[in-house]
């Protein structure tokens, strides 16, 4: 997979709602890679690096939470019409175990799509020596920003 989900981004239509989300500067700044985008689902990865850590080999809470937020919103945005966007309203992350390993993998699924709000669940796994272990779980609520020009055209 190319860095920062380049393959995933390139495969999207120019007006796909995820195109904007995936192009936000925070994704490459954190080193997020999008590995899957499907209707109501998303998967991301984050490789360990020293700036994500308080101690060698362990991820701090903030990169885990950012990964959960991005992945949850990405899953929700896949269900929006072309030209739309979204903004995080709220997210809650529960840290279940120390995240000590080579990378994180986050898998999100939409629990409730809505007109105004969409809610996604995200499971975050730490990968160590090729084995995944659940280290955090999150609920992400996003505000759907439907493209009004697109909506007016459809009416």
The model's pLDDT over 35-81, given as tens digits with 9 standing for 90+, comes to: 888 999 999 999 999 888 888 889 999 999 999 999 999 999 999 88
> pLDDT by residue (tens digit) across 123-139?
999 999 999 999 999 99
Rounded CA-CA distance 102/47 in Å is 6
Q: What is the DSSP letter of 100?
A: B
Q: What is the pTM of this model?
A: 0.85
Whether residue 120 contacts residue 104, with contact meaning beta carbons closer than 8 Å, is answered with: no
| Domains of the chain as residue ranges with CATH | 3-154 (3.10.129.10)
Q: Which two tokens stand for residue 32?
A: 């997020």
Distance CA 91, CA 139 (A): 6
For residue 152, pLDDT beyond 70: no
Closest CA to 79 of 111, 46, 105, 50: 111
């Amino acid at each position: 997979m190319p860095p920062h989900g380049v393959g995933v981004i390139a495969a999207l239509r120019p007006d796909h709602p995820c195109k904007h989300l995936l192009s936000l500067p925070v994704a490459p700044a954190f080193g997020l890679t999008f590995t899957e985008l499907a209707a109501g689902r998303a998967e991301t990865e984050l490789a360990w690096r020293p700036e994500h850590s308080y101690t060698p080999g362990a991820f701090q809470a903030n990169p885990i939470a950012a990964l959960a937020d991005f992945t949850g919103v990405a899953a929700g945005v896949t269900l929006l019409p072309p030209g739309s966007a979204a903004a995080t309203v709220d997210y809650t992350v529960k840290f279940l175990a120390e995240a000590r390993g080579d990378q994180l993998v986050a898998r999100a699924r939409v629990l409730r799509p809505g007109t105004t709000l969409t809610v996604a669940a995200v499971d975050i796994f730490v990968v160590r020596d090729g084995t995944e272990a659940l280290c955090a779980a999150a609920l992400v609520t996003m505000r759907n920003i439907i493209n009004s020009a697109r909506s007016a055209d459809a009416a």
